[in-house]
Copies of this chain bind each other. A is one copy, B any other.
Amino acid sequence: MTSPDVLISEVGPRDGLQSVKATMPTADKLRWIDALYAAGVREIEVASFVPAKLLPQMADAAEVVRHAITLPGLTVMALVPNRRGAEAALAAGVHKLTMPVSASAAHSLANVRKTREQMVEEVRAISDLRRDMAPHVKLEAGISTAFGCTLQGDVPEDEVIALAVQCIAAGADESGLSDTVGYANPAQVRRLFKRLRAELGEHAGAAHMHNTRGLGLANCLAAYEEGVRTFDSSLGGLGGCPYAPGASGNVVTEDLVFMFEAMGVRTGIDIDRLMAARAPLIAGLPGEPVYGMTPEAGLPKGFKPQGTTHV
């Protein structure tokens, strides 16, 4: 059993579900997570620990985490915007916390009602908290709007990199870059990840790309060629930015896995079982649009995947 070449970190149960109006029943969430696991997915962002009155879709976050941590070898992540969320996530037993830290000053205030500086302090507080409560738990700071912002437009690259450096200095184990609103282009992705990796070394984290303008896979390719090995994506492309109506959201996991496997890059995921994991997603969100070109077109004739490593 050899390690995959890349880690596909599924964010659908968090990033995907929080973007849709409907609430997926807990039982469907668990079936969906089980199906992703059965396909060989080994990191899943399963929930967001936020007040249920803000995001009723996430009211069952603790229950979902308690189920997911029973799956051997799965890294169970949850998004936490603040200390209160982190406490609840740690109490539920997550393996990894992820915090959204906006590089755009405007988006930071709009999203978490904190300045960027305050969010760095929050990273520090949460890092200390998990050291006390659960020292094995990892902490990721995802730099959102790292490639531009619908509120302020351009986000200076120096500010993006400086913020990631501050998050690591504040105690985060890794810091990745998120194209929250689908503004990124491959040249920019190469530039920013090159700098991030030069500054952070082994602390440089995932590429979290959206497909709002169709460039999701091209941006992942650019990040891969700069050495990035962890990619966030969402089954069925679930998610989507409320600022870009009609546009699909996160990079589609099925298409991303197809791209890598076709290139000879091992994902560890069984693509046929991954396709099958769409069924519980669709069943749990009736009427919600689900994206993905590869599921629609099917695999090429004689397609040879790279072999799974987990299943």
Contact = CB atoms under 8 A, between A and B. Distances in A.
A309 B177 CA distance: 34
Contacts of A264: 187
Contacts of A258: 213-215
Contacts of A283: none
A252 B297 contact: no
B221 A255 contact: no
User: What are the 5 tightest A-B residue pairs by CB atom distance, in nearest-first order?
Assistant: A153-B302, A214-B293, A185-B262, A187-B263, A247-B297
Number of copies: 2
A100 interface: no
B259 A297 contact: no
Given A259-B185, A302-B154, A213 B294 contact: yes
A301 interface: yes
Interface string A199-232: 0000000000001111101101110000000000
A25 to B, nearest CB: 29
Given A213-B255, A301-B148, A293 B247 contact: yes
A246 interface: yes
Contacts of A287: none
A158 interface: no
